[in-house]
Chain A
């Protein structure tokens, strides 16, 4: 009824190729933007920012990054945690070495450093595929964590091996450190997510993205029609690592404030983000958001309902929570192997016909 193409006339190519061709979708998109940038920052408190929104925004960036590599270019990676660590440590070294540098520059440079490291570890992908590549990236994960634990230069020779983000301000407002207001944390991450998601969406619609998908669908065929596997695969690694590096930098500097590489960026993080991408939907930007939301928000929600709402003992709630999240993951994957993004796609198809499906 309200969700339809009919009556929405496109009179130029630009109009015709826009991201949201349906007016309702477009309106919804603007509504989300208004909500995200116009309303939420004003009602944000410490709990909502630190427990819900900031981790969601950061994981969404990481999930988009991994989705570019795994979902769009078909290269399986288990090194996400390690690449996030590169972003975090690059950001830390930049913050402490150049205290005058504005924080967004630090974060972007951390992303670039990670992109370089990602390309380096992406080189084996030119020779090996699938499971073997997964193992190679797994090696990256363990190597990077070991490196940041082993070489004291990375953590500025601190006694405990922890890195702690000093306070940095942007336009007079603290964005890292303990006295950061909740809205500033949220807004800082939200701006990055918005810009990066917009970029990813447009990259994946254009030549670069089409090349990635060609390689994913059949690399030999892609090579025959003129797609250069070297530049394509490495560009996917570079862009993906850039995103993941930014996520790692924000994760350390804005969200945690202090981090320890083995715990914050261990192998569990790689799996967590891979699960986000798989549950959200491979090869979908929306899926990255949905997957991140599912795996970040659901445990918090369950905890609040079980412990806060029903008054269960915390250990019982923690165990039940694991079981519920695990069961839901299995249920989702059985009912919809293509993830939450596919559910959303099906829902949209149905909405187009609603309320007269025949």
Chain B
């Protein structure tokens, strides 16, 4: 017994101290392939890994430097996320993308102290869009407040420009993630004269009967939905059960994947969700992915999610990170960039439509340009709708711009509070 323990301990010490060769570019993938949120975590992690594998196989990495993507399982749990961060940061990590708003809140102070970039596309702390306060955090191309504003703008369009007297319910994951849009929606409710009701669902959200009962009683005109993981498919099913009109039920981008609507079958037909990136397997990059990654047997995971909504988003994150590293290499004049240089790359990053086309991803995302003060990007999002018969998402709008008049003061206010709490002086002046 004692002997086995000693051996295990020795193995553990050997395991923790064995770091990979430091010459490579290291982009840890803090993923979750287990637990109630794995339905979203698995395709995201696969898309993220596959794109870097493609770069390594096709181009020999970025600027001739191979990219290593050590994976660490967080199970969407903040404690494990912190452990993963500590375990991987010693390997020379350049940028983190934990795909969890809770873990993001944990890591913001840590990355700022350690000098490592935190990239949180479409999630995390919204006010991190203010680069004057959040030097090390980037959340372009869009954030939750953008999403909330885009959804309301879409509803304004549907209702001829006025939401006066309408009732909108926000159904949300009772966590930092789900609470993010409340502030914005309250402001928008004041501006446009609709009433907002807030219906929290406790994590993991397998039990939502009481919330949907309330929806049935209140009869809101629209339901906005901030869910993730197993909670999404349950909500779509419940909405179908109470015969809530699905085209008045709009999810945020994390609540609009195939996994969320397939279980409800025909009942899910017409459900809408936001997205800030294109989906589907029609982009030219998939030909390369097939040639260099899937057919070569180097695909991540089971390989069944390529082209799905969340897979595309994981790939999108990898595209932006690789472009930022490329930019950093250009700025630093060396392919061997360190974490501080990668941050500069993120801040100088410009994604143009032409560049996306070169990457084989024409129209995949919105063009944006980061600056010292703006870490948030343009913030546009599209609305997609589920077609249950064809089993696919189709885009029903182009990019809708959020209402910057409402959002900018909110971002400034929230980031100022953070700056005051942490004694941060504004940069970029």
Interface residues of A (CB under 8 A from B): 46-47, 50-51, 55, 149, 158-162, 164, 166-167, 177-179, 256-260, 262-264, 266, 300-301, 303-305, 307-309, 313-315, 317-319, 322
B11 close to chain A: CB less than 8 A: yes
Q: CA–CA, A257 to B87, complex, Å? A: 17
- Taking a contact as CB atoms under 8 Å apart, the answer to whether B16 and A314 are in contact is no
- Taking a contact as CB atoms under 8 Å apart, the answer to whether B176 and A304 are in contact is no
Using known A-B contacts A160-B125, A160-B176, A314-B33, determine if residue A46 contacts B109 with beta carbons closer than 8 Å: no
Fill in one digit per residue for B273-290: 1 if any A CB lies within 8 Å of its CB, else 0.
000000000000000000
- Taking a contact as CB atoms under 8 Å apart, the answer to whether B202 and A159 are in contact is no
Choose from A161, A256, A308 the contact partner of B79 (Cβ within 8 Å).
Answer: A256
Q: CA–CA, A50 to B8, complex, Å? A: 20
Complex A-B, nearest 3 residue pairs according to Cβ-Cβ distance, in ascending order:
A315-B33, A308-B15, A178-B109
Using known A-B contacts A47-B87, A308-B18, determine if residue A318 contacts B34 with beta carbons closer than 8 Å: yes
- Taking a contact as CB atoms under 8 Å apart, the answer to whether B174 and A262 are in contact is yes
B9 close to chain A: CB less than 8 A: yes
CB distance from A280 to the nearest CB of B (A): 16
B87 surroundings in chain A (CB, below 8 A): 47, 51
- Taking a contact as CB atoms under 8 Å apart, the answer to whether A164 and B421 are in contact is yes
- Which of B68-76, B234-242, B304-312 is found at the contact surface with chain A? B68-76
Q: Give the total of B residues in contact with A, Cβ under 8 Å.
A: 54
CB distance from A239 to the nearest CB of B (A): 27
CB distance from B310 to the nearest CB of A (A): 16
Q: CA–CA, A319 to B33, complex, Å? A: 10
Chain B, interface SS category: helix
B397 close to chain A: CB less than 8 A: no
- Taking a contact as CB atoms under 8 Å apart, the answer to whether A304 and B15 are in contact is yes
- Taking a contact as CB atoms under 8 Å apart, the answer to whether B16 and A257 are in contact is no
- Taking a contact as CB atoms under 8 Å apart, the answer to whether B11 and A263 are in contact is no
B414 close to chain A: CB less than 8 A: yes
Using known A-B contacts A262-B175, A263-B203, A314-B33, determine if residue A178 contacts B110 with beta carbons closer than 8 Å: yes
CB distance from B37 to the nearest CB of A (A): 12
B12 surroundings in chain A (CB, below 8 A): 300-301, 304-305, 309
B77 surroundings in chain A (CB, below 8 A): 263
CB distance from A276 to the nearest CB of B (A): 15
A257 surroundings in chain B (CB, below 8 A): 106, 109-110
CB distance from B230 to the nearest CB of A (A): 15
Chain A to chain B contacts (Cβ below 8 Å), 11 pairs: A158-B417, A160-B101, A161-B176, A178-B110, A260-B105, A300-B12, A304-B12, A314-B71, A314-B73, A318-B33, A318-B73
- Which B residue's beta carbon lies closest to that of A301? B12
User: Most chain-B CB neighbours within 10 Å: which of A46, A158, A160, A300?
Assistant: A160
Interface residues of B (CB under 8 A from A): 8-9, 11-12, 14-16, 18, 31, 33-34, 38, 42, 71-73, 75, 77-79, 82-83, 86-87, 89-90, 101-102, 105-106, 108-110, 112-114, 125-127, 174-176, 179-180, 182-183, 200, 202-203, 414, 417, 421-423
A258 surroundings in chain B (CB, below 8 A): 105-106, 108-109
A160 surroundings in chain B (CB, below 8 A): 101, 105, 125, 176, 179-180
CB distance from A84 to the nearest CB of B (A): 13
Q: CA–CA, A266 to B36, complex, Å? A: 15
- Taking a contact as CB atoms under 8 Å apart, the answer to whether B83 and A319 are in contact is no
Q: CA–CA, A238 to B146, complex, Å? A: 47
- Which A residue's beta carbon lies closest to that of B177? A160
A263 surroundings in chain B (CB, below 8 A): 77-78, 102, 175, 203
- Which B residue's beta carbon lies closest to that of A343? B1
B109 surroundings in chain A (CB, below 8 A): 164, 177-178, 257-258
Choose from A159, A166, A266, A315 the contact partner of B183 (Cβ within 8 Å).
Answer: A159
- Taking a contact as CB atoms under 8 Å apart, the answer to whether B73 and A317 are in contact is yes
Q: CA–CA, A47 to B89, complex, Å? A: 9
Q: CA–CA, A164 to B179, complex, Å? A: 16
Q: CA–CA, A46 to B109, complex, Å? A: 14
- Taking a contact as CB atoms under 8 Å apart, the answer to whether B179 and A50 are in contact is no
- Which B residue's beta carbon lies closest to that of A174? B113
- Which A residue's beta carbon lies closest to that of B180? A160
- Taking a contact as CB atoms under 8 Å apart, the answer to whether A51 and B15 are in contact is no
